[in-house]
Chain A
Amino acid sequence: MARVLVVEDEVHLATGIRFNLELEGYSVEVAGDGGQALEQLRAVRGSPASAFDIVILDVMLPGLDGFQVADRMRQGGDHTPVLMLTAKSLPEDVVQGLEAGADDYLAKPFELSVLLARVKGLLRRRDWARSQSDGADTATIGDAVVDFRTFELRTGGEVVHLTLLEAMLLKLLVQNAGRVVSKAEILEKVWNVSPDTETRAVDNFIARLRRYLEADPRAPRFLHTVRGAGYRLTP
């Protein structure tokens, strides 16, 4: 049974979302503000049985806002998939959410069926990134070894824990090794947004992956930018 943390200060919405998720068979907890959410996440870290599988995160919260919560989660090494919910639906808000570390984004008001599908989709994407069916569980890029089952990347003696999106991006590049993958394709397959979304998110993630993989991120040997076309991985 997947566990969901709903971070929402509006009682009506929190109650309604919880009610529906529980009917779908999820086990649900609710946090009323950002600080409480971080505490609840911290409390279950390291115990796989009670860890959350997904966080549904509202943006406008008292205290810490949703962007900050996502940001602090990621910086604290918490890689639970995040679905952001917000009344703001402008493209730049979507982009800000994705850049803060959200894995998916849904504008209020939303269709209940869409919310349930997105939750399921996010869990499925996580499973896809972890899956063994299409390709190997691990990939070797230079000195680095990526394990897609655990989202772990080992370089030398160091272990980096990848976020869902980082793992998915890397997996897409590994599956297409030697071939140029366009930014549009990445946005569509990894971020699940329209391919013409204006965002630096992909560039930021590529830069992050380079820091993990490359000895000198400014002169990449494995993860190349192909100007005007996209990115290419040559392991």
Chain B
Amino acid sequence: MASGGSQLSAAQRSKWPHVSMGVALIVVAVALTVGWQILGAEAPSLGRPTLRWVVYFFGSVLSLLLIGGLVLIVILLLREVRLNEQQSNFISAVTHELKTPVASLKLYLDTLRLRELPEARRDDFYRTMDQDLARLNATINSVLNAAMYTDRPVVDPQPLDFARLVKRAIELTQTRHQLAAGTIAYQGPESLRVLGDATALETATLNLLDNAVKYSRDTVEVGVEVGSNGDGQAFLRVRDEGVGITRTHLPFIFKRFYRIGPEVRRSRPGTGLGLYIVRSVVKGHKGTVHAESAGPDRGSTFTITLPGLLDAPARPDHG
């Protein structure tokens, strides 16, 4: 009979024997060391006091090394286990992200083949299939982008207009999510020139905007700000009023494959690569990325900074 056990993944179940064995070994080593110290101090059989102290000293050092080593192994083990879980979560997420649109496409294709349908219904189905293809394409792109931008500095930075790039990304995001123009508010200069890789920066910006929409609640309310901070750096700030991020998850969200919650109870589509790509792109530009959130349901704000500002903003245009 399936009980609570079915709610644990195999990885979670198999982790505990290893970890508890490590902890038990540490306890044994500590007990051994303490016991040995006490016994050593009590037993006078070793003869000369100097010899006793030498044995005592080396013994203590070796014991501490042993304990330290064990602690280290347990820490490494835990880290390995966590990585493993994230990877299997990633496989699970990508499986879902790839198979769902494929299943949908197959279903509608079969339906079109099997049934006599009126024109309007057929058009409906074609539209659905188009959206499935777009989703499939987005997943493939994010997996490819993650591979492309990982730990790689921008090879050939070119002058580009960052403000225009962001505004284009806003328009594209609004179209993709069928939002009214102006849902994502832009604040910043008409033009802001920086050195960088336009495609990579566009990918990163689109990921941030996409997240802001995806993690919004019923009404989408997103604010985007572009500007320069005076010390030769351009910045982009994306603020949403969505579900927010709890303090415990905040340090991990830029990690590869990291997604909040177990994958089988996924609440938002995604692969756990979006923010990782953002961080990789920004790192490639020697910039910084930062996330903050006041907590669940209180929205989040993502800020990236990019060095390589080419000129002071022509004129501030608050719109």
A interface with B by C-beta (< 8 Å): 10, 12-13, 15-17, 19-20, 23, 59-65, 67-68, 70-71, 87-88, 92, 96, 99-101, 108-113, 204, 207-208
Contact = CB atoms under 8 A, between A and B. Distances in A.
A62 B104 contact: no
B104 A63 contact: no
Contacts of A61: 265
A67 B6 contact: yes
B96 interface: yes
Nearest to B109: A112
Given A12-B132, A15-B128, A65-B264, A101 B104 contact: no
Interface in B100-159: 100-108, 110-111, 114-115, 128, 131-132
Contact of B96 (A12, A17, A20, A87): A87
B1 interface: yes
A99 B103 CA distance: 25
Nearest to A33: B267
A101 to B, nearest CB: 7
Contacts of B107: 12-13, 16-17, 20, 109-110, 112
B6 A16 contact: no
B297 to A, nearest CB: 16
B265 A111 contact: no
A12 B92 CA distance: 20
A68 B100 contact: no
Nearest to B264: A65
A108 B107 CA distance: 10
Chain A facing B: main interface SS = helix
Contacts of A111: 106, 110
Contacts of B267: 62-63
A16 B96 contact: no
Contacts of B10: 92
Nearest to A17: B107
Given A12-B128, A87-B96, A19 B111 contact: yes
A60 B264 contact: yes
Nearest to B7: A68
A199 B110 CA distance: 33
Contacts of B3: 71
Most chain A beta-carbon contacts within 10 A, residue among B101, B105, B110: B110
Interface in B7-60: 7, 10
Contacts of A15: 128
A72 B287 CA distance: 50
A58 to B, nearest CB: 10
Contact of B265 (A64, A96, A100, A204): A64
A94 to B, nearest CB: 13
Contacts of B101: 12
A204 B5 CA distance: 14
Contacts of A17: 107
B119 to A, nearest CB: 16
Nearest to B269: A10
A161 B3 CA distance: 19
Contact of B111 (A20, A108, A110): A20
B124 to A, nearest CB: 9
Contact of B266 (A20, A62, A108): A62
